[in-house]
């Protein structure tokens, strides 16, 4: 748990103006109040089961294991969730909380449109208006997600200023939020942003690890030796890791994007190469210039393309409970194709980073060791891009 001021060790907090601090504290109070109630827990559990399709299974990837030649590889199938990834887990929690607090509108930005589609779905279900800000360039690039958001009935705002991509979409959505923070709810899309969002989004995602720990034990009579997940902002990884933090025998590994290489400027390896700084209302390891401005970051997986990272990850790195590794674009693409062709599962490019690391590690371990990978999402959204990139 974070401390009273929302810090995990040295990271987190609320680096925002005082009037917003009081709004964030109201959200925290409301959240702590409803999450204890049976009505909220039952409603969320019911939606997880009947809307998302939980529990997602754990699958023993036997042919992938054989190909890697070493430890057994298992996949937690978050790719099978409704809307195709883990994001729906926290979007449902946030939409329900906004409704409970009597908010009149849920707001967010989206880059590739994954958070936008999950949030628009959750808001349609819960019955609360939803407004998504998206850069004009991203709107032109991400046609399938754009039309889905429109079909789902959210208000899609095209952001024409600045770079016309994610960074300006954040600023635009935030400007709208500041018009009426009492009545609007800014639904943050990962374990980032000011307190209480890193804690709250983690809690909503922690269903992944809770299920996985029990399922793995039931299937194998023991816990996995290694648990791994990709890290952008870090929500799917925190959701998976939380249940295993007290299991000393379980090694936890977060995998971030090395992009075109750690020795280039084209990566988003915040844990490996970042320094302490503040962005988007909290303190974390960031890739920043000498003035503390976030640097442009890059990953082949747009969901991992973020210059900061969740504060709890930074703390878990400091106390050496979680190890962080980086996987580059080429290794990611190889894993994308290998998993598709060995198991008939097309992963999201984000998730393929974790698969790539797991296969590399598996090769160094004996066959009686086990690695559990959080397969955070499916690759439908990436299929055209990969086919074009590899000239398939
Ligand atoms: C958005 C996304 C991610 C990255 O977000 P985290 O908060 O780091 O989990 C990872 N995988 C998929 C499939 C995504 O859509």
CATH code, domain carrying 354: 3.40.50.1100
- Domain assignment of residue 2, yes or no: no
Predicted confidence at residue 163, as pLDDT, reads 85
Q: Are 194 and 224 in contact (CB under 8 A)?
A: no
Predicted confidence at residue 141, as pLDDT, reads 86
376 is a catalytic site residue: yes
Q: Strand, helix or coil at 174?
A: helix
Q: Are residues 62 and 123 part of one domain?
A: no
Q: Are 376 and 351 in contact (CB under 8 A)?
A: yes
Indicate the number of domains in the chain: 2
Q: Are residues 79 and 216 part of one domain?
A: yes
Ligand 1 near 119 CB (within 6 A) = no
Measured distance CA(103)–CA(207) in Å, rounded: 25
Residue nearest to atom 1 of ligand 1 (CA): 303
The residue among 202, 237, 257 that closes a domain is: 202
Q: Are 292 and 277 in contact (CB under 8 A)?
A: yes
Q: Which residues form the domain of 190?
A: 7-47+87-202
Ligand 1 near 374 CB (within 6 A) = no
158 is a catalytic site residue: no
Quick one: which of 333, 270, 332 has its CA closest to 297? 270
Q: Are residues 120 and 263 part of one domain?
A: no
pTM across the whole model:
0.97
Q: Are residues 290 and 385 part of one domain?
A: yes
**SS3 annotation, 45-113:** HHHHHHHHCCCCCEEECHHHHHHHCCCEEEEEEHHHCCCCECHHHHHHHHHHHHHHCCCCEEEEECCCC
Ligand 1 near 89 CB (within 6 A) = no
Ligand 1 near 303 CB (within 6 A) = yes
Predicted confidence at residue 166, as pLDDT, reads 86
pLDDT mean by block of 10 residues, the chain; 392 residues = 97 96 97 95 97 98 98 99 98 97 97 95 98 95 94 98 89 95 97 98 98 98 99 98 98 98 97 96 96 92 94 98 98 98 98 98 98 98 95 96
Give the distance (Å) from ligand 1 centre to CA of residue 259.
16
Predicted confidence at residue 165, as pLDDT, reads 87
- Domain assignment of residue 139, yes or no: yes
Name the DSSP class of 162.
T
325 is a catalytic site residue: no
Predicted confidence at residue 60, as pLDDT, reads 98
- Domain assignment of residue 1, yes or no: no
Give the distance (Å) from ligand 1 centre to CA of residue 23.
27
Q: Are 371 and 339 in contact (CB under 8 A)?
A: no
The residue among 202, 219, 245 that closes a domain is: 202
Q: Are residues 329 and 221 part of one domain?
A: yes
Predicted confidence at residue 64, as pLDDT, reads 98
Q: Are residues 214 and 353 part of one domain?
A: yes
According to DSSP, the residues that pair with 230 across neighbouring strands are: 255
Q: Are residues 216 and 190 part of one domain?
A: no
């Amino acid at each position: 748990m974070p401390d009273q001021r929302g810090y995990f060790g040295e990271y987190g907090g609320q680096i925002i103006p005082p009037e917003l601090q009081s709004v964030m504290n109201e959200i925290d109070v409301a959240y702590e109040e409803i999450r204890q109630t049976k009505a909220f827990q039952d409603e969320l559990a019911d939606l997880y089961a009947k809307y998302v399709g939980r529990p997602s299974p754990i699958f023993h990837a036997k042919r992938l294991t054989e190909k890697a030649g070493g430890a057994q590889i298992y996949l937690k199938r978050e790719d099978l969730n409704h809307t195709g990834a883990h994001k729906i887990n926290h979007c449902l929690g946030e939409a329900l909380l906004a409704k409970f607090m009597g908010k009149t509108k849920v707001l967010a930005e989206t880059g590739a449109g994954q958070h936008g589609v999950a949030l628009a779905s959750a808001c349609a279900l819960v019955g609360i208006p939803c407004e998504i800000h998206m850069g004009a360039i991203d709107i032109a690039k991400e046609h399938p997600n754009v039309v889905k958001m429109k079909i789902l009935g959210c208000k899609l705002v095209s952001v024409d200023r600045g770079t016309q991509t994610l960074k300006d979409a954040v600023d635009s959505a935030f400007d709208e939020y500041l018009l009426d923070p009492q009545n609007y709810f800014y639904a943050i899309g990962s374990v980032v942003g000011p307190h209480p969002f890193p804690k709250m989004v983690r809690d909503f995602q922690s269903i992944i690890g809770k299920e996985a720990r029990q399922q793995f034990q039931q299937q194998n009579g023991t816990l996995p030796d290694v648990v791994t997940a990709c890290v952008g902002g870090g929500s799917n990884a925190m959701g998976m890791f939380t249940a295993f933090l007290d299991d000393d025998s379980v090694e936890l590994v977060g995998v971030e994007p090395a992009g075109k290489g750690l020795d280039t400027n084209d990566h988003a390896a915040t844990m490996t190469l970042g320094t302490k700084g503040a962005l988007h209302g909290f303190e974390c390891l960031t890739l920043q210039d000498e003035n503390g401005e976030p640097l442009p970051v890059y990953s082949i997986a747009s969901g991992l393309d973020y210059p900061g990272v969740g504060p709890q990850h930074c703390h878990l790195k400091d106390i050496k409970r979680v190890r962080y590794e980086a996987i580059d674009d080429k290794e990611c693409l190889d894993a994308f194709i290998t998993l598709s062709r060995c198991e008939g599962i097309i992963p999201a490019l984000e998730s393929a980073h974790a698969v790539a690391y797991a296969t590399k590690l598996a090769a160094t371990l004996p066959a009686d060791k086990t690695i559990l990978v959080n397969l955070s999402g499916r690759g439908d959204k990436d299929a055209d891009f990969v086919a074009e990139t590899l000239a398939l």
